């Protein structure tokens, strides 16, 4: 059975040696089995990555005439990678179209009560006797639905960013295996309990925060991860099975002015959690130690006073030299500053008790 169906059109064949001279164009469209263009496919030419296809599946790159090995692949795309050992690029350019075959897997991701889950990615990974490498495909949910195309094989399914829990086999090491040898519809129902909560900061809703739950379920002893984001009212919702979890509350990028907070909870059924965070604000202005002028783009770090290279928060001064750190009350932090390639330099250590204004002085040029 032919699983991948390429359609190649090479014009003006060239010799196997790379021809000197100007660059020529390779262009084409990458489609799925049903003819829809696939966005996000990277075109690798002799292991060099080029721009991904656009929302219509089209790409356009320039190379020297010659023979090339071309690989098509992407991250979180609904088709597996495709390897073409030899593509001839003529002196007038080449059109390279590709259409995937395979079996269609489609379905819904639904939560308790049959309500569609609208955000996330359904992924399938496994092996096929028709392809010499492992297969990893993904489909972003659209109105709670997903679509994938794969060759025959045995696959495991999971979601990202792990909003749900699925019963696990192999003592929790992986989800159930499903054999695919025909077009298939698979609806994934969410297991576990709805955990709904509200986070406030000093009594005010904390919007735009990320809530991550990490833990181990009972009785499968499967490691579980779930994620949600707070709304403008500070509310979040996720699903986890019975188990013991640590909930982490963060905001912004991985290292931001907000110190990640956490709490632990055993989940044995549907639950509502109200969390009001206390917080100590440390703010100030970074100034030149000689002129007293504000200095921008200085990073002010708060970290572990024992491990000087373990940082909990960072704030970068603006054009007026202002910065602000949001600290967990009662903890001691070491404070450092850095600018450019200068390594962080410690200038103080203090316990976050009351809101405070910090005076930070740096040498001319931040050195």
CATH of the domain at 166: 2.60.40.1120
Which of residues 13 and 248 earns the better pLDDT score? Answer: 248
The model's pLDDT over 225-234, given as tens digits with 9 standing for 90+, comes to 788 889 999 9
For residues 297 and 253, state if they share a domain. Answer: no
For residues 130 and 183, state if they share a domain. Answer: yes
For residues 140 and 201, state if they share a domain. Answer: no
For residues 318 and 291, state if they share a domain. Answer: yes
Out of 141, 158, 189, a domain closes at: 189
Q: Extract the tokens encoding 199.
A: 């986070």
| pLDDT score, position 170 | 37
| pLDDT score, position 222 | 66
For residues 91 and 113, state if they share a domain. Answer: no
| pLDDT score, position 118 | 75
For residues 82 and 22, state if they share a domain. Answer: yes
The model's pLDDT over 113-166, given as tens digits with 9 standing for 90+, comes to 677 777 778 889 999 998 888 899 999 988 889 999 999 999 988 776 554 444
| pLDDT score, position 182 | 97
Nearest residue to 121 via CA among 153, 144, 98, 100: 144
Tally of domains in the chain: 4
Query: 232 lies in which domain range?
Result: 193-277
CATH number at residue 13: 2.60.40.10
User: Could you write out the three-class secondary structure of 141-158?
Assistant: CECCEEEEEECCEEEEEE
For residues 19 and 89, state if they share a domain. Answer: yes
Whether 268 shows a pLDDT value over 70: the answer reads yes
Out of 277, 303, 325, a domain closes at: 277
| Coil/strand/helix, residue 222 | coil
Range among 98-102, 220-224, 306-310, 341-345 rated most confident:
98-102
Range among 44-58, 103-117, 282-296, 331-345 rated most confident:
282-296
For residues 216 and 265, state if they share a domain. Answer: yes
* CA–CA separation, 166 and 170 (whole Å): 13
* CA–CA separation, 148 and 138 (whole Å): 7
For residues 94 and 108, state if they share a domain. Answer: no
* CA–CA separation, 351 and 329 (whole Å): 8
Out of 249, 277, 305, a domain closes at: 277
- 271-277 and 261-267 as β-strands: parallel, antiparallel, unpaired? unpaired
For residues 303 and 259, state if they share a domain. Answer: no
Range among 48-62, 166-180, 182-196 rated most confident:
48-62
Q: Extract the tokens encoding 26.
A: 């390779």
Supply the pTM of this predicted model: 0.61
| pLDDT score, position 171 | 39
């Amino acid at each position: 059975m032919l699983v991948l169906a390429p359609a190649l059109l090479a014009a003006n064949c060239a010799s196997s040696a790379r021809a000197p001279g100007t660059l020529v164009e390779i262009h084409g469209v990458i489609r799925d089995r049903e003819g829809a263009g696939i966005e996000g496919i990277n075109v690798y030419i002799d292991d060099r990555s080029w721009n991904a296809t656009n929302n219509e599946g089209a790409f356009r790159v320039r190379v020297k005439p010659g023979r090339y090995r071309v690989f098509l692949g992407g991250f979180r795309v609904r088709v597996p990678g495709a390897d073409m050992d030899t593509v001839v690029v003529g002196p007038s350019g080449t059109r390279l179209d590709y259409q995937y075959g395979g079996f269609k897997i489609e379905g819904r991701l639904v939560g308790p009560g049959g309500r569609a889950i609208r955000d996330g990615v359904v992924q399938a990974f496994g092996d096929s006797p028709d392809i010499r490498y492992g297969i990893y495909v993904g489909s972003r949910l659209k109105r709670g639905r997903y679509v994938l195309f794969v060759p025959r094989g045995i696959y495991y399914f999971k979601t990202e960013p792990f909003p749900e829990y699925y019963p696990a086999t192999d003592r929790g090491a992986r989800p159930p295996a499903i054999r695919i040898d025909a077009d298939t519809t698979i609806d994934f129902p969410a297991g576990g309990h709805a955990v709904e909560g509200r986070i406030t900061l000093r009594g005010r809703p904390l919007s735009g925060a990320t809530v991550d739950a990490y833990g181990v379920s009972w009785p499968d002893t499967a490691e579980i991860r779930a994620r949600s984001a707070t709304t403008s009212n500070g509310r979040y919702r996720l699903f986890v099975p019975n188990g013991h979890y640590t909930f982490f509350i963060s905001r912004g990028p991985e290292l931001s002015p907000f110190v990640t907070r956490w709490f632990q909870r055993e989940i044995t059924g549907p639950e509502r959690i109200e969390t009001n965070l206390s917080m100590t604000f440390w703010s100030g202005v970074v100034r030149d130690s000689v002129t007293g002028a504000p200095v921008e783009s200085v990073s002010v770090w708060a970290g572990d006073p024992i491990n000087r290279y373990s940082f909990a928060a960072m704030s970068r001064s603006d054009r007026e030299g202002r910065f602000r750190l949001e600290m967990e009350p009662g903890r001691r932090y070491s404070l450092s500053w850095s600018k450019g390639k200068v390594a962080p330099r410690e200038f103080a250590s203090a316990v976050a008790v009351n809101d405070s204004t910090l005076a930070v002085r740096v040498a001319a040029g931040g050195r």
